[in-house]
């Protein structure tokens, strides 16, 4: 039985200069990530990612000194048992709530990577899936609040590279949002699927204008129009429009999603493996979503580790819809951490056949980007 001998977590940052990407959360001034590594008694390393939670150094501390302190000597293959024990100890009582769930997410992804390496199988096989070519949309830190002509240039480069679906940032003001979305629809026609993400910044007073432009410009989905606790508003909105509503990036664990699904407020679930409880929990969430005929489109976080986790998961889901590709101009945690392991080609992505996540992590790339404490989004209004 392989035993866990060490759990480590480290925070890393890449600051931006020049033009910043502005979106509903504010202006993004740096790229943060928290990387988790779990080592077994044979020296094998499983790699994971915990979302930074806008406090990357604090999150690394929670992973390593908080939850990780319970894992020494545990069976490295017992991901379900470890999840249940950590949840009991740190989530359902006397823990840090969402912070503990995020920390557990990074641990769980690392355990799946380690399990795949121990068993010599890619994660999609361990999940009961098969390699698939999955459609991808251009997302991540991109297509922010710009003049329509500047957005047109950015979208054209994405379309020319093979993308047939994009996600635009909205939640600025309904009229400005409508102008941007309308311009891209007019220029690129109906062959391009356009999702929009409001980052929880709309209110009920915005809805007449928002629904008008979403329906008029055939929006692929409207993402997170409201704060995650406003379940009644999600349900009311879903009854008022044929536009699919997407959410889940800021919901944690299957219990939160059970309430969201039961309200009938969304058609697309976007649980994040680095936030909602790892691969183990997001698999349960997405299987539960299928019972409500809800599609799975997991949110991708900051590194190639998150991207890999989503590709493997989508290969095992019968309700898989689409993969979120980070197309940010600057993200060393996507481009340097594991080379070109996960590339979108002709608007699609597929997993490699290597064990675990299929990544060869370059730890030196992490050393080049020491952590910068504090939040990465600065409010602009």
State yes or no: pLDDT of 320 exceeds 80. yes
Using CA atoms, how far residue 1 sits from 40, 111, 114, 121, 302, in Å, is 10, 14, 13, 17, 33
Q: How confident is the model at residue 350 (pLDDT cuts 50, 70, 90)?
A: very high
CB-CB contact of 14 with 369 (8 Å) = yes
CB-CB contact of 162 with 347 (8 Å) = yes
State yes or no: pLDDT of 341 exceeds 70. no
Place of tokens 């999940």: 127
pLDDT of residue 340: 63
Q: How confident is the model at residue 19 (pLDDT cuts 50, 70, 90)?
A: low
Residue 104, sorted as left (phi over 0), alpha (psi -120 to 50) or beta, turns out to be alpha
pLDDT of residue 17: 75
- For 259-272, the three-class secondary structure string (H helix, E strand, C coil) is HHHHCCCCCEECCC
- Is 0.95 topped by the overall pTM? yes
Q: C-alpha 154: how far from its chain's center?
A: 22
Instruction: Output the DSSP codes for 119-179.
Output: HT-BHHHHTT-----EEEEEESS-S-S--HHHHHHHHHHHHHTT-SEEEEE--S-HHHHHH
Q: Where are the beta strands (DSSP E) in 282-340?
A: 295-296, 323-326
Structure tokens at 256: 């939160």
Structure tokens at 153: 């240039």
Structure tokens at 199: 């980052």
State yes or no: pLDDT of 381 exceeds 70. no
Residue 267, sorted as left (phi over 0), alpha (psi -120 to 50) or beta, turns out to be alpha
Bridge partners of 323?
Answer: 136
Q: How confident is the model at residue 330 (pLDDT cuts 50, 70, 90)?
A: confident
Q: What is the mean pLDDT of residues 143-168?
A: 97
CB-CB contact of 358 with 328 (8 Å) = no
Cβ neighbours for 69, distance < 8 A, ≥ 6 positions apart: 7
- On whether the 4-120 domain is CATH 3.30.70.580, my answer is no
- By C-alpha distance, which of 351, 346, 360, 249 is closest to 308? 351
Pairing verdict, β 134-139 and 348-349: antiparallel
Task: Report d(CA 318, CA 58) in Å as an integer.
Answer: 36
Residue extents of the structural domains in the chain: 4-120, 125-367
User: What is the CATH superfamily name and number for domain 125-367?
Assistant: Enolase-like C-terminal domain (3.20.20.120)
Bridge partners of 169?
Answer: 197
Task: Report d(CA 183, CA 149) in Å as an integer.
Answer: 8
Structure tokens at 128: 């009961």
Q: What is the pLDDT of residues 206-248, one digit of tens each?
A: 999 999 999 999 999 999 999 999 999 999 999 999 999 999 9
Instruction: Tell me the residue length of the chain.
Output: 381
């Amino acid at each position: 039985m392989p035993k866990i001998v060490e759990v480590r977590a480290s925070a890393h940052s890449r600051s931006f200069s020049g033009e910043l990407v502005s979106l509903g959360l504010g202006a993004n001034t740096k790229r943060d990530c928290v990387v988790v590594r779990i080592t077994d008694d044979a020296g094998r390393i499983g790699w994971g990612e915990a979302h930074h939670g806008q406090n990357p150094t604090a999150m690394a501390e929670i992973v390593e000194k908080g939850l990780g302190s319970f894992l020494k000597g545990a069976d490295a293959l017992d991901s379900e048992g470890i999840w249940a024990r950590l949840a009991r100890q740190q989530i359902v009582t006397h823990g840090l709530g969402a912070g503990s769930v995020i920390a557990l997410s990074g641990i769980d992804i690392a355990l799946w990577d380690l399990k795949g390496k121990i068993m010599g199988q890619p994660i999609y096989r361990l999940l009961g899936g098969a390699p698939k070519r999955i459609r991808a949309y251009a997302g991540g830190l991109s297509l922010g609040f710009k003049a329509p002509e500047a957005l047109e240039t950015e979208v054209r480069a994405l379309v020319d590279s093979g993308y047939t679906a994009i996600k635009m940032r909205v939640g600025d003001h309904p009229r400005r949002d409508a102008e941007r979305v309308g311009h891209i629809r007019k220029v690129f026609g109906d062959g391009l699927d356009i999702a929009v993400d409001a980052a929880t910044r709309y209110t009920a007073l915005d809805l007449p204008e928002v629904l008008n432009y979403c329906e008029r410009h055939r929006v692929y989905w409207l993402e997170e129009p409201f704060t995650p606790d406003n379940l009644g508003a999600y349900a009311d909105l879903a009854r008022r429009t044929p536009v699919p509503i997407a959410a889940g990036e800021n919901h944690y664990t299957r219990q939160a999603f059970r309430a969201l699904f039961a309200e009938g407020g969304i058609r697309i679930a976007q649980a994040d493996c680095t936030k909602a409880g790892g691969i183990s929990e997001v698999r349960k969430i997405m299987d539960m979503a299928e019972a409500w005929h809800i599609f799975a489109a997991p949110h991708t976080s900051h590194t190639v580790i998150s991207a890999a986790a989503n590709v493997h998961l989508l290969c095992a889901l019968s309700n898989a819809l689409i993969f979120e590709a980070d197309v940010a101009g600057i993200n060393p945690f996507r481009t340097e951490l594991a080379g070109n392991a996960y590339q979108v080609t002709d608007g699609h992505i597929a997993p490699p056949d290597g064990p675990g996540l299929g990544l060869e992590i370059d730890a030196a790339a992490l050393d080049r980007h020491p952590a910068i404490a504090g939040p990465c989004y600065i409010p602009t209004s």
